[in-house]
Amino acid sequence: MRIIVTGAAGFIGSNLVRALNARGIDDIIAVDNLTQGDKFRNLVDLRLDDYVDKATFYDDFARGHYGRVEAVFHQGACSDTMQHDGRYMLANNYRCSRLLLDACIARGTRLLYASSAATYGGSSTFVEDPAHEHPLNVYGYSKLLFDQAVRRALPGATVQIAGFRYFNVYGPGEQHKGRMASVAYHHEQQFRTDGRVRLFGAYGGYGPGEQKRDFVFVDDVAAVNLWFFDHPEARGVFNLGSGRAQPFNDVAVAVINSLRAPHGEAPRGLAALVAAGLIEYIDFPAALIGKYQCYTEADLTRLRVAGCDHVFAPVEQGVAAYVRRLREDPSLRSG
């Protein structure tokens, strides 16, 4: 069974390859762009049949160069929400994806792909419906444009097409992402280097550190992708978050307590950590005013109706597992 994973050296892509390997699947073609060479670290311990550069992959796949392929897990994209070059973003995130969609339909290959909660943008309702899709940046628009193409293609498609609107994913393998790495990753880095975690102060009607996001552990993201792989009848565009909004304070507390535990230090609550100076609040950045989502929470109704009953880890559990893996494998940190 041949599988292709695009963005395979990236954060979610490498975790998907690892999950496939755990099932004994290693006839995998990894597709990526290693201009940022340090991403190779995410591939070192994975079992692959081949590695292909993104520049040649899409045309070669459309020509049938790789033979019979069961499924493509399409994770390759520019995920930098601060990237303002719209021509680049649409060429990279939409045009490549559209070529792949057309080729998968023509060749009878299943397509499971990464969309994004950025498609909702300024909405306060996170349901997979055009009425709630209001992207705030060209990244979100590039993802929405492809979701729209998928919706048009689905009625006539004879193969599975499933897209996943990832919310705030965190976990091992994101060390190359720089400022786009998760809050949990940055908090772990801050506490190890500075002995404290910094959070935004009050903003948007929320108290210090109380802005809420749907934080989802990458192991859960991989598990849901594989559930759909096991259920080829499940098709459409789906939210993939925990379905639970938690404040940034929860992430900071989980990170700090997880780092303190190996030293025999008892866990502390938020108030105690703030009083001890281990959590510090900073003024909300003027540059983000009016451009910041204070609340996200995936509506999982469509996911559950499709039959996926996966149980997602809360921040306290997922972050503890993540910090433990960072401690065990220093290569998961940058530098």
Indicate the DSSP class of residue 283.
P
- Report yes or no: 208 and 275 within 8 Å, Cβ to Cβ: no
Which tokens go with 140? 């979100």
- Report yes or no: 172 and 329 within 8 Å, Cβ to Cβ: yes
- Report yes or no: 10 and 180 within 8 Å, Cβ to Cβ: no
Nearest to 164 by CA among 179, 181, 139, 146: 146
What amino acid positions are annotated as catalytic residues? 139, 177
- Report yes or no: 246 and 298 within 8 Å, Cβ to Cβ: no
pLDDT by residue, tens only, the chain of 335 residues: 999 999 999 999 999 999 999 999 999 999 999 998 889 999 999 999 999 999 999 999 999 999 999 999 999 876 665 666 778 888 889 999 999 999 999 999 999 999 999 999 989 999 999 999 999 888 999 999 999 999 999 999 999 999 999 999 999 999 999 888 999 999 999 999 999 999 999 999 999 999 999 999 999 999 999 999 999 999 999 999 999 999 999 999 999 999 999 999 999 999 999 999 999 999 999 988 877 889 999 999 999 999 999 999 999 999 999 999 999 988 888 75
Nearest to 119 by CA among 298, 305, 302: 298
What angle is formed at CA 40 by the lines to CA 36 and CA 46, rounded to 5 degrees? 150
Q: How far apart are CA 162 and CA 267, in angstroms?
A: 41
Q: Residue 302 carries which side chain, given as an amino acid letter?
A: R
The residues that bridge with 246 in the sheet, in sequence order, are: 213
The residues that bridge with 134 in the sheet, in sequence order, are: 121
Nearest to 54 by CA among 8, 15, 108, 102: 8
What is the DSSP secondary-structure string of 130-194? Answer: GGG-B-SSHHHHHHHHHHHHHHHHGGG-SS-EEEEEE-EEE-TT-GGGGGGS-HHHHHHHHHHHH
Q: Residue 5 carries which side chain, given as an amino acid letter?
A: V
